[in-house]
Amino acid sequence: MKTEVDESADEFVDGIAAFFKCKLAIVLVAGLLSVSTLVIPPSVFSCGLEPMVQGGLGGGYPGALKVAVAVADAREGGLLPSANLKVPNKIRFQQIMRDVVTLQRRLDRNKDHIADADSKDFSLMLAGPSFWAHYHMKPGAVLARFHADGPLENEVVVITHQVVLSALLRGTISISQATDLGLLKFTGANTAPIQEALELSL
């Protein structure tokens, strides 16, 4: 069930998605219902959605291809919705942005309940479009960088798929279920704190 926070995120993303397509945005969540945006010039990072998202496996990063295959199996088994290749890429991009911003807001909302939250930074990679997002737990807020050109150095990487992230946000699957089925993969030296943060937020 969507909360007021999630609905606010929807409205925010709908407004910025078209304008910031294939650009890098840093979004600072200052509170549950207020967001301020700082934009870095588009030349800083390349767009992570080329080639366009339709039909792509996004297997270039270690572990991403296995996640994409697990997603295909879950779709075939009815756990996840079937792919709809008729959806325009503009709409797909808006869906991705809505989900990654909603995740940011959920992390921010639960930040006080996450042990040592200020020390947790991680990268999120969505297999398929090879979309990268960086999340930084900072005092007072969670910073997120979208459309980055790769993972943060020496930080945990979370690999999943947009359809899985959407299901996690809706609560139709759990973190443990997604991990067991290969739909969600954590890589790096110390993944437990990041997994805990996501379990508290999703």
88-147 pLDDT, tens per residue?
Answer: 989 989 999 999 999 999 999 988 877 666 568 999 999 978 899 999 988 788 999 998
Residue spans of alpha helices (H) in 18-81 = 64-76
Query: What rounded mean pLDDT belongs to the chain?
Result: 76
Domain ranges of the chain: 4-41+49-201
> What is the C-alpha to C-alpha distance for residues 125 and 116, in angstroms, rounded to an integer?
23
Q: What is the dihedral of CA 128, 170, 152, 73, to 10 degrees?
A: -40
Longest Cα–Cα distance of the chain, Å, equals: 44
Specify the higher pLDDT residue, 54 or 32: 54
Radius of gyration of the chain from its Cα atoms, rounded to whole angstroms? 16
**Phi/psi of residue 126, nearest 5 degrees:** -100, 110
Confidence band, pLDDT 50/70/90 cuts, at residue 181? very high
Look-up: residue for tokens 């008729």? 86
CATH topology of domain 4-41+49-201: Nonspecific Lipid-transfer Protein; Chain A (3.30.1050)
Q: How far is CA 172 from CA 33, 51, 163, 197, in A?
A: 25, 30, 11, 18
Q: Is 164 helix (H, G, I), strand (E, B) or coil?
A: helix
